[in-house]
């Protein structure tokens, strides 16, 4: 499942108060969520961040092998906890009084898709070229439309169209609406009201169906040489990368990195050999690898004692080498010499492409495409 997100403050505000979440677990379960905050003094931004942070951590820690009913219960419990957290923050931060946030989320597994929402952030699916709205907006005008007091046309320009009937942080108890979705769909779209207030459904549909060309810059990075696309089903996307690889090869660029990984087996401490862990690593590197100048990052120094004892002083170091000097970036227990990854970022005029690359095999393991909005 390929995912990406895009946010834009528009032409009125200098920043957004929304937060977004995309998590794919190793088991294949996916959580998507958008929270759109509200409240003065950046309180809305705080509320949306509380919602997304808790939801993401809770999903990583507790969501595993749940059936549909269990997943729905998990969503309800998560929302209750988020609501309590927002209220607690308000109590200790008086300047945040009145803060709240909407929430729209989708849980995607191999067996089911569940949507949940509170407020006016929306969930859609694309099926057979048509956009379908799954969720229900909790707004005053939507309530009036449902009651037959307003038409949909009248609701579009109603002065109170942004008045919410539900939001996290608005009441001590709030219920999330949960929707069971057909598995046979093409795409999922979550959005705040910033999108749905500005574009009609057919306009959103048109953007999702648009075939966007990505231009290859004249100055190409050599990091693309020798790579192959993994898991891409976009023909034009593959053609662009193939053309770039051909140009790089014809110009004799080389794929190189100055980052290396080396597996080492350190001497274990004894009564006669009781030097510090860092000195022990430095001694081994000087004697075995031939480097005299050795630097460490601060974060690495903190983890060394635990890591080297995890596998009886057998570790793998990741480092940058410059002439006779190396800087150690990371240390891992055991032998992980065959795992070295990098990230390539291609910033174009209409899109940004980020690729996770295996630096040994030159394979692209995963890719994120973010299409940037153009000002008109």
Whether pLDDT at 153 is above 90: no
**Candidate ranges 87-91, 114-118, 218-222, 286-290; pick with highest mean pLDDT:** 114-118
In 3D, which of 313, 319, 315, 311 has the Cα closest to residue 290? Answer: 319
Q: Where are the beta strands (DSSP E) in 28-127?
A: 30-38, 100-101, 103-108, 113-118, 122-127
Say if residues 315 and 285 touch (Cβ distance below 8 Å).
no
Of 4 and 221, the structure prediction assigns the larger pLDDT to: 4
- What token pair was written down for 135? 């969720």
- As a whole number, the mean pLDDT across the chain is 81
Of 76 and 199, the structure prediction assigns the larger pLDDT to: 76
pLDDT tens digits for range 250-279: 777 665 667 888 999 999 988 888 888 888
Question: What is residue 177's predicted lDDT score, i.e. its pLDDT?
Answer: 94
Question: What is residue 232's predicted lDDT score, i.e. its pLDDT?
Answer: 45
Domain ranges of the chain: 18-209, 222-255+340-371, 259-333
Say whether 24 sits in a helix, a strand or coil: strand
Question: What is residue 241's predicted lDDT score, i.e. its pLDDT?
Answer: 62
- What token pair was written down for 357? 């690359």
Exposed, middle or buried: residue 103 (CB in 10 Å: 0-12, 13-18, 19+)? buried
**Neighbouring-strand partners of residue 37:** 101
Contacts of 117 (CB under 8 A, 6+ apart): 102, 103, 104, 105, 123, 135, 136, 137, 138, 176, 177
Of 218 and 322, the structure prediction assigns the larger pLDDT to: 322
pLDDT tens digits for range 69-104: 999 999 999 999 999 999 888 888 887 788 899 999
| CATH number attached to the domain at 18-209 | 3.60.40.10
CA 262 – CA 335 distance, rounded (Å): 8
CA atoms within 13 A on the CB side of 41: 8
CA 7 – CA 14 distance, rounded (Å): 12
Question: What is residue 31's predicted lDDT score, i.e. its pLDDT?
Answer: 95
Which stretch of 195-204, 274-283, 360-369 has the lowest confidence by average pLDDT? Answer: 360-369
Specify the CATH number for 259-333; select among 3.40.50.300, 3.30.420.340, 3.10.20.880, 3.40.470.10: 3.10.20.880
Q: Which strands, in side-by-side order, build the sheet including 363-371?
A: 228-229, 363-371, 351-358, 341-347
């Amino acid at each position: 499942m390929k995912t990406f997100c895009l946010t834009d403050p528009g032409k009125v505000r200098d920043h957004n108060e929304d937060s977004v979440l995309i998590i794919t677990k190793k088991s294949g379960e996916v959580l998507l969520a958008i929270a759109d905050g509200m409240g003065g003094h950046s309180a809305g931004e705080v509320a949306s961040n509380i919602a997304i942070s808790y939801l993401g951590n809770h999903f990583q820690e507790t969501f595993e092998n749940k059936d549909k009913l269990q997943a729905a219960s998990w969503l309800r419990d998560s929302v209750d906890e988020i609501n309590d957290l927002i209220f607690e923050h308000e109590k200790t931060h008086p300047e945040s009084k009145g803060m709240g946030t909407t929430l729209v989320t989708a849980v995607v597994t191999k067996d089911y898709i569940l949507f949940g929402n509170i407020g006016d952030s929306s969930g859609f699916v694309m099926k057979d070229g048509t956009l379908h709205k799954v969720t229900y907006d909790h707004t005053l005008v939507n309530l009036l439309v449902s009651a037959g007091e307003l038409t949909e046309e009248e609701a579009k320009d109603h002065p109170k169209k942004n008045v919410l009937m539900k939001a996290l942080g608005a009441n001590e108890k709030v219920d999330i609406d949960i929707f069971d979705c057909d598995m046979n769909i093409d795409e999922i779209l979550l959005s705040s009201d910033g999108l749905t207030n500005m574009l009609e459904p057919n306009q959103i549909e048109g953007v999702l169906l648009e075939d966007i060309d990505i231009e290859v810059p004249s100055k190409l990075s050599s990091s693309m040489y020798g790579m192959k696309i993994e898991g891409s089903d976009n023909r034009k996307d593959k053609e662009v990368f193939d053309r770039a690889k051909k140009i790089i090869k014809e110009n004799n660029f080389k794929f190189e990195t100055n980052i290396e990984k080396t597996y080492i087996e350190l001497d274990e401490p004894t009564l006669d050999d009781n030097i510090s862990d860092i000195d022990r690593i430095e001694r081994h590197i000087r004697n075995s690898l031939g480097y005299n100048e050795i630097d460490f990052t601060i974060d690495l120094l903190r983890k060394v004692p635990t890591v080297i004892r995890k596998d009886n002083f057998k570790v793998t170091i990741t480092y940058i080498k410059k002439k006779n000097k190396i800087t150690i970036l990371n240390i891992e227990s055991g032998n992980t010499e065959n795992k070295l990854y990098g990230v390539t970022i291609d910033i174009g005029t209409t899109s940004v492409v980020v690729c996770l690359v295996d630096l040994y095999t030159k394979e692209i393991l995963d890719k994120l495409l973010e299409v940037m909005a153009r000002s008109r």
